[in-house]
Structure 1
Amino acid sequence: MSYELKSAGALSGGTCCYAGSRLPVRGPKRDLDSPYIAFLGGTEVFGRFVKTPLSDVSESLLKMPCVNFAGVNAGLDTFASDQALQSVARSSEISVLQLLGAQNISNRYYRVHPRRNDRFLQAQPPLKELFPEVDYTEFHFNKHLLSSLQARSEERFAEVRRHLQEVWITRMQEVITTLEGRVLMLWVRYDLKGSAAFNHEPVLVDRSMVSALLGSTMGLVEVDVATAGIEGDFDGMIMGELDFPAAQHMLGPKEHARIGCALAEKLQGLI
């Protein structure tokens, strides 16, 4: 195992923002005057700790700019509400859109942070009515909230889960429509170590939900992967001395290369 020990922000190019968007996405900032492919997603597409993310792999194979508009901890709501990123993605030849977890979206039960969608902000009245015994000030992250609700009552939690999945489909359809259907969906699936109730990514997304969107897009790429900690996939990662525990839960360089190759093969027939 080998990796480069540098400061936590040492990835080449750092982060940048486009067209007035406040979301820090993968840098360096790219020229958008020539035709390009947009990559929208969260931590996986961003390539946290990875020197060569999957978008760079696709670019090297396609010989066409693949611009990484992904953000660490960004969720579906990020791209559903960020009109600046929607604009630059709509100007691309096609957008690769990662399927992100259904837990990280604002809904009738709770609100999430507008950019770091994994952060729980506020419980709404319907959730307080459904789970009146819960102290919502204890929660800062959506997964922690949902895990606690499920542990209290599987029956009541089923209502929350069903609603989240319905909202996810609606919001995905909104993004796809905004991007005029020129979307290739990317379904990256993996398990996390541990016994947490929500240890499979993307959380609460199943086959029926994805199938409901297929007809509105230009296709789907599915890749089952494993985290760097499970695969021992650290060669080519750059991290600070305190980052190793977090890096174990990220996708490593080999998995990024595999996803990038699968996307390039599919994109070749679409651009």
Structure 2
Amino acid sequence: MSFTGPGAGAPDYAPCRYGASKLSFRGPAARLDQPYWAMLGGTMTYGKFVEHAYPALVARATGHTVVNLGIPNAGVDAYLGDPEVLAIAAGAEAVVLQIPGAQNLSNRYYRVHPRRNDRFLTARPLLRMLFREVDFTEFNFTRHMLTELRRVSPLRFERVADELRAAWLERMHALIEVLAVPVTLLWAGENPPPDGGLDMAADPLLVTRAMVDALRPATAAYAEVIISAEARAQGTEGMLFSALDLPAARLLPGPAAHAEVAAHLAALLAR
């Protein structure tokens, strides 16, 4: 475990922006005037609590410029709503898209923040009618809200889950189409995509094997990296975080997991 004390110990993420984009990314900013690969995704792509995230490790292993466009807790909406970032990704030789969860997108039942997609903004009338007994002012985050809805009524929750899965598939197809460059879908986690069932602590949440398979024909490649038991056993070893961030760090992949993902992607992209 690596931490120094409250308010200290986290890596210097050197936050940067590209062009007119309102989104902030992990820096230092990459050069866009030479051939590059772009990597889109969530918290792991960003590299929270690790000194070198897998995009940086891929760059080091291959000598190729890699633009890290990861956003902590990203949903599809953050990318589709930012023309500047879409243009950067579309200008890449290839894109790696870490598969996001389906909870962090606006839909017929609720709205999320346009950039911080894990932030729950408001329930739409359809959701208020479906869960009349729930006070939606209590929720700030999508996962918390959905977990409570499932507790209240698993049957009614499934209607919301079906809507989220359908919206996710539609927008993922839209994102891949608008990029118009070879896209590698990346599944990186402790387990492969589930065939069924639902673990509300899973990441990506609500995404099944069938959903991934439905996207694969539109992509150039699919990388499924299951983090080894050895890497998982290292826990927070080698991670950088403050004492206050320990609970969050325990939930995220460490340096060994990033190294495994990077090795897989470097071999795939260098072909």
Structure 2, unmatched stretches of 5+, are 192-197
What SS class does the counterpart of residue 178 from structure 1 fall into? helix
Partner of residue 251, structure 1: 253
Q: Say which SS state the counterpart of residue 16 (structure 1) adopts.
A: coil
> Does the C-alpha gap of structure 1 residues 126 and 229 become closer, same or farther in structure 2, counting only changes over 3 Å?
farther
**1:241 match:** 243
Question: What's the offset of the Cα at 1:88?
Answer: 0.5
1:48 aligns with 2:51: no
Contact 1:147 1:197 in 2 (8 A): no
Alignment of 1:83-232 (within 5 A): 83-190=83-190, 198-225=200-227, 231-232=233-234
What is the root-mean-square deviation in Å for CA atoms of aligned residues?
A: 2.2
Deviations 1:187-234 (A, max 9, x none): 12237xxxx951111000011111111111111101123799953343
Aligned partner of residue 32 in structure 2, secondary structure: coil
Contact 1:42–1:100 (8 Å) recurs in 2: yes
Which sits farther off after the overlay, 56-65 or 10-19? Answer: 10-19
TM-score, length-normalised on structure 1?
0.91
Deviates more, 1:240-249 or 1:132-141: 240-249
CA distance in 2, matches of 1:209, 1:31: 34
Matched AA of 2:249 = A
Cα deviation digits, residues 36-89 of structure 1 (max 9, x gap): 000111111100010011011111222101110112222221112111110101
Q: Distance in 2 between matches of 1:52 and 1:4?
A: 19
| Alpha-carbon shift at residue 268 of structure 1 (Å) | 1.6
Measure, in 2, the Cα distance between the counterparts of 1:114 and 1:258.
32
Show structure 1 runs of 5+ residues with no match. Answer: none
Aligned residue type for 1:31: R
Which amino acid in structure 1 is aligned with residue 108 of structure 2? R
Offset from partner CA, 1:103-151 (integer Å, 9 cap, x none): 1110000001111111100001111111112111111111111111111
Distance 2:19 2:201 in 1: 35
- Give the AA of the match of 2:57: V
Worse-superposed segment, 173-182 or 250-259: 173-182
Flag the 1:137–1:2 CA change in 2: closer, same or farther, 3 A: closer
Q: Could you tell me which residue of structure 1 aligns to residue 65 of structure 2? A: 65
Distance 1:6 1:155, change over 3 A: closer
Instruction: Report the TM-score when normalising by structure 2.
Output: 0.91
Is the CA contact 1:227–1:249 (under 8 Å) kept in the aligned structure 2? no
CA distance in 1, matches of 2:50, 2:218: 32
Task: Give the corresponding residue for 1:16.
Answer: 16
Q: Which moved further from structure 2: 223-232 or 34-43?
A: 223-232
**Identity of counterpart residues, as a percentage?**
41
1:166, 1:259 → 2: CA distance? Answer: 28
For 1:229 and 1:140, locate their aligned partners in 2 and report how far apart those are by CA, in whole Å.
Answer: 32
Number of positions where the alignment pairs a residue of Structure 1 with one of Structure 2: 265
Judged with a 3 Å threshold, the aligned counterparts in structure 2 of structure 1 residues 17 and 261 are, in CA distance, closer, same or farther, namely: same
